[in-house]
Amino acid sequence: MQTDAVGVGCPKTDLSDSIDSKFHVLVCVTGSVAALKLPLLVCQLLQIPGVEVRVVTTEHASHFYDIAEIPVRVYTDKDEWEMWQQRSDPVLHIELRRWAHLLLIAPLDANTLGKIASGICDNLLTCVVRAWDQRRPLLFCPAMNTAMWNHPITARQISTLMEFGYVEIPCIAKKLVCGDEGKGAMAEVTTIVDTVKQFLPSASTLP
């Protein structure tokens, strides 16, 4: 099922239309103000030779960026429910999980961090994560207010994700949009892209 949630000039293709020889990166974006960097992140990932990108967004994340600036297919909770009408229909979060060679959550806000650490899957994004093939890399980029980052439960939840085998791309210290200064800002886009590149050879050999 296609929606208008796709960048200007980008062909509306289904997952089945993807070229098998390409390396598939699924970018999941949550409701942190750092989601405003999504257009830049997708653009830089697409500059990696042989990489194909799709995006899964939460409803709150879409508040921070213009979906018309995203030049790839963007999937929402609405797509999950509209795709499935009867028993024989595909389930979107399973199809996305099968399609992707690497899952990148950037940014990962405090709310979704808590959900993933607790096994909650109440939207398309968290369902993809819960169904993720753990033989394939999952990278996450925390992003939240400094006070939220410093709360003791945050370190515990980050540790839980790393115990699952997920890879943290650490947040950085800077002056945040809210005016606070300290740790909690999402890693720079160049850092994120460079980290993704490190996983291309090993991930591309996975079934």
pLDDT digits (tens, 9 = 90+) for 179-189: 767 799 999 99
Report the distance separating Cα 65 and Cα 58, nearest Å: 12
In a domain, 13, yes or no: no
| Residue 163 tokens, joined | 């115990």
Catalytic site positions? 178
Instruction: Name the β-bridge partners of 51.
Output: 23
pLDDT at 191 over 80: yes
Q: How confident is the model at residue 69 (pLDDT cuts 50, 70, 90)?
A: very high
In a domain, 127, yes or no: yes
Tens digit of pLDDT for each residue in 117-145?
999 999 999 999 999 999 999 999 999 99
pLDDT at 10 over 80: no
**From residue 135, how far is each of 52, 98, 195 by CA, in Å?**
20, 12, 17
Report the distance separating Cα 67 and Cα 39, nearest Å: 8
Q: How confident is the model at residue 36 (pLDDT cuts 50, 70, 90)?
A: very high
Question: What pLDDT shows up at residue 81?
Answer: 82
Do residues 19 and 47 make contact, with C-beta atoms less than 8 angstroms apart? no
Instruction: Tell the residue number behind the tokens 């369902």, with chain if given.
Output: 127
Instruction: Pick the closest to residue 116 from 79, 154, 82, 83 (CA basis).
Output: 154
**CA 33 to chain CA centroid, nearest Å:** 14
Higher pLDDT, 187 or 6: 187
In a domain, 112, yes or no: yes
Number of domains observed in the structure of the chain: 1
Mean pLDDT along residues 27-40: 97
Determine the structural domain holding residue 36 and report its residue range.
Answer: 23-203
Task: Supply the pTM of this predicted model.
Answer: 0.87
In a domain, 7, yes or no: no
In a domain, 137, yes or no: yes
Question: What pLDDT shows up at residue 49?
Answer: 94
CATH code (residue 135) = 3.40.50.1950
